[in-house]
Amino acid sequence: MPQIDEPKGTNEMCETSKRKAYPSDVTDAQWELIEPFIPKVSANATIPTIDRRELVNAILYVLRTGCSWRQMPHDLPHGKTAHHYFRMWSQQGVWEPIMTHLRKRSRAAMGRDPEPSAVIIDSQSIKTAPVRGPERGFDGGKKNYRP
């Protein structure tokens, strides 16, 4: 998560949480920025739901530490639950507007235009041209007729 200018002393967890904060947890100031983009709990929900902020903290913990979903600490939401929401929100396109909002805010804070005017793509990221030459068969053009 990009560092956003925040006043000192805002790295504490919300008052309802009883666990010790991890370095990957969102601060109160960061949560205020991304909360409007996170889908709300359905009004038709019949089972108890997990706090959305804790789900985001669990997802960020895995992304920051690189651990598997199964190895998440016990004081965060269960790994399968966090993975389910991560995949569902990824498929719904929840993360893209968050990153766009944070990028625009970060660029504006640096005194730059919120929208970038150019993009750099290196040759390792994309293929530049199709393979040229005659079509190649199964043996790669070696004319190997042996079994």
> What integer pLDDT is reported at residue 136 of this predicted model?
55
> What integer pLDDT is reported at residue 63 of this predicted model?
93
Percentage with pLDDT > 70 across the chain: 71
Give the tens place of pLDDT for each residue, 76-89: 999 999 999 999 99
> What integer pLDDT is reported at residue 12 of this predicted model?
43
21 in any annotated domain: no
Residue 140 identity (one-letter amino acid):
G
> Does residue 30 contact residue 1 with C-beta atoms inside 8 Å?
yes
Residue 4: pLDDT above 90?
no
> What integer pLDDT is reported at residue 130 of this predicted model?
63
Residue 56: Cβ-neighbour burial (10 angstroms; 0-12, 13-18, 19+): buried
Q: What is the tally of structural domains in the chain?
A: 1
75 in any annotated domain: yes
> What integer pLDDT is reported at residue 16 of this predicted model?
44
Containing domain of residue 87, as a range?
Answer: 28-39+48-109
φ/ψ of 80, rounded to 5, equals -65, -40
With bands split at pLDDT 50, 70 and 90, how would you rate the model's confidence at 11?
A: very low
Q: What is the pTM of this model?
A: 0.67
6 in any annotated domain: no
